[in-house]
Amino acid sequence: MADPKNAKLFVNLGASQARRRLKGFGHGVRKVETAGNNQAVITIIHTATAQHLRQLEAKFADVGFAETEIGLSQPADLIEVTGLNSH
């Protein structure tokens, strides 16, 4: 059985917090996995429409998201803990 092509969305929330935000959302979300410290990757099935993707991005606009792991900035709480903050 062929695996359908999927898109990924990386967010600055832990996987359990991301799942909580997505509860009842549906719209093509296949799974939520951890992507490191306070970051998660959401796998979206290829049949999700552009409107569904915009709605998904809107759910995570306050914490930050990116389509690639490299494009995702460090979570603010992690910057404070590691001392990377410039203040």
Per-residue pLDDT tens for 62-73?
A: 998 888 887 777
pTM: 0.72
Picking from 35, 32, 33, 39, the residue whose alpha carbon sits closest to that of residue 74 is 39
Report domain 7-82's class: alpha beta
Strand-by-strand arrangement of the 40-45 sheet: 29-34, 40-45, 6-11, 65-66
**CA 2 to the chain's CA centroid:** 25
Per-residue pLDDT tens for 32-74?
A: 999 888 899 988 887 777 888 888 889 999 998 888 887 777 6
Per-residue pLDDT tens for 1-21?
A: 555 678 889 999 999 999 999
